[in-house]
Every structure is written in structure tokens, then in C-alpha cells.
Chains A and B, each alone.
Chain A
Amino acid sequence: MPLLEVRDLHVEFHTRDGVAKAVNGVSYSVDAGETLAVLGESGSGKSVTAQAIMGILDIPPGKITGGEILFQGRDLLKLKEDERRKVRGAEMAMIFQDALSSLNPVLSVGDQLGEMFVVHRGMSKKDAKAKAVELMDRVRIPAAKERVGQYPHQFSGGMRQRIMIAMAMALEPALIIADEPTTALDVTVQAQVMDLLAELQQEFHMGLILITHDLGVVADVADKIAVMYAGRIVEHAPVHDIYKAPAHPYTRGLLDSIPRLDQKGEELYAIKGLPPNLMAIPPGCAFNPRCPRAQDICRTDEPPLFRVTEDGARRSACHFWRETLRDA
């Protein structure tokens, strides 16, 4: 049994202008100790799926219209809110992109870290503070003892993100969801933070869902990748396979459109057009208006996630996945 299994999840947003179909039948799973990277551009539904798993979706305007989220065998969508609250933070935790706006500016970081232990474990404030220092040490914040009483604005961007990681790790959850955890950081600091995250994941044998738009970060840390487009998974594969030979034209296009660091390239490949409006997703394959391979069938029939390998570890939602793979 996987640690977390999302099955055919559908999420909609009801707005004044109409219904935006943000997630349209997403299924993925994560095992303990495994890293799943969810890759996609803005509006692909990658963060909304994560919010649905965590139970922090704004309802309304959001609405989960179908599917199951099985966490350690229980369907989270059937739990009552107070049961859900016990899961959140203690058994699964989330790391956000912007640490400065995720931390409370008027509470010291020690109080915010300690709060986890006071609320979930019923510890005294004094013990909780000692735990907070321990956690700050663990994420390598220098002079943790002296800095535990400081406020978020007194830390650098990299250190604030470490504090976020410390907070997520505090109760040793089984699953961590990191939503663009290093996007706001500089590259040298990004490397430090990703290393720390990978190390802690190993140590506690946690499942990690890493949500990002950066193909480089994914290549470094993920075991498997789910590529999302217009609220659906278009390709799912072990990390090595997808970079060597993508089986979906969208993945191919993404890989070709990033310039290389190790050599000067020719003109960049650019995927034509724009991502679709979620209120008017094109019929058939959502990628068809931008796809160089599109045929009539792509405009009429929505492709299911075809099995590319026998065991189903590789899947592609393209009618022409064989051709895409062959030309890779």
C-alpha cells in the first residue's frame, strides 16, 4: 500500500466569470522514502492538487467534485474537519514558496516552532522552546540558542526557508509536500536548502512531493516525475527515463526550450501559443492547439494515460506516444 494515493481527483473553482476546471482527474502515488516531483507551469493544477491533499483548499470558491485521497489507507476526503486537523501538521506537512509571508511576523520563530509541540503534543512552553532550539540546530541555523527569540525579518531568505523546513519536520510527519520550496532563493542557497531537505527525508524515511516548474531541480532530487498540463497528468515516469526520452510532446517541448549551461546553443525551441484558459479547455487533448504532432484524433478524443512500460511506471497521455518516444 503506498503512503499516499490520489485517485481521479477533480477540483473546480466557481467564479463570477464561470467554472475553472483546475484539476481534471489526477492520480498519483508516493511511497515512504520516495520523492515524486510534480512539474508544471502556472495554472497546470499542481498546487491545487497539493492543497486538496493537505485540506487547505479555499472552499468556496474551490470545490472537490470527485476522486479519493488515500493516506495510509484512509480516504482523507471522508474525514471530519477535526480529524483532518489532527492529520495536518502531525502526519503530513507542507513547505511553501514564500517563507516570509508564511511565517507570522509578530511571533518569534521559537514560539512558532514550539507551537507545534504545544498544540499537537501538549508540551509545556518551556519544553517546547527547548525542542525549537533542537530543531533549529538540526536545520543548521548558526547560534540557534541565541536566535530562537528572534523574529522572521531578522533572518535571511535561506534561513527562513530552513525554519519552514524545521517547522514541517517538527512532528516527524510521514509525508511532506514542498511547493516551489527554492524558487525564491538564490542558486547557491537553493543548493544548500535542497541538500538539507533530501538529507532529512532520508533520515526520517518520509514521502516527499516536490512541486516545481524547474526541470533542473527535479533532475537533482526526484525518483519519479508527474508532468501536469491543464489540470491533468500528461506524462508520468521514473526520473532518468523522462530526460533521456520523453513520451509526450509537451515534455519534449519543455526540455527543448531551456538553454544549456554547458554549451552555447542555437535558437531555442519555443512551444507556440499559450497555456489554455481553464474555463475553456480545448476538446480532445488539451495540448493539441500547441502541439507539433496534433492530428484530427487529438482534437476530438481525450487521450487516456497510456501505459508506456508493462508495469505502468511510465505513462503518457498522448495518442502518438510511440512516435514521440521513437523520435526522442
Chain B
Amino acid sequence: MAMSRDDIFNQVREVLVDALGLDDGDVTEDATLMGDLGAESIDFLDIVFRLEKAFNIKVPREELFPAEAVMNNPEYVSGGKVTAKGLAELKSRMPHTNFSEFEKNPDVNKIADLFTVGAIVNFIEGKLK
């Protein structure tokens, strides 16, 4: 039987609680991994490994967290802002992510805010279809 979005969320929450040492209540759909939940770069890899195990799927890191490749490309980032081309690239690589806030001010330092709990749940939902 296919997992409901709630089931997926609950399992993602468990992964994040274990990986980042959080309480259940910290993990909400809107919480950002770095800003709100305190994840650092190595935690992203830890989360990827745990998601693979929890859902029995393959998660290429650049699919779930592709921002690094975009940020290192001068065509995509200019003057501390993500360019229109960069934004299009991010959107195509991160279809599971909500860009509406980010588009208003595509500050490169705000890329981290795109990685929310909800985005991970969307990503897993897409993978399990």
C-alpha cells in the first residue's frame, strides 16, 4: 500500500530527530534544515543515508540538495544574487521545493532556507510514486 503524506512526514520527522538530535515538536513542514533545525553540511549526508534506509530508496545527494552545484557556477550567481538563469536551474533541479518566498529576494545566502522539512517530504513522495 502506498504511504500517505502523513506517514512520510512522520518517518522524515523520525529521521531528522535522530540525525540532528531534535525533539519531535521541532520538526514542522515549514522548518528550514539549516536555519531552524541547525543542520550543518555533514548532516545533509547523514540525512540522505538515513532517508535511503528508512524508505528503502536511492537518494542521489545532488538531487535532494543540488544547491552547491548551482552556487559554484558564476553564470548562476552574480553579485550575491541568484540570476534568472540560476533560478530556472534551481527550479528544474528542485521541483519538490516552494520558491515563492525566495523569488522575491534571491539572495544567495537564503538558498539554505529552501531546504525545508516539507521539501524533503515532497521529494520522498515523488520518489515513492
The yes or no verdict on A and B being binding partners is no
Q: Which residues from chain B sit less than 8 Å from chain A, CB to CB?
A: none
Q: Which residues from chain A sit less than 8 Å from chain B, CB to CB?
A: none
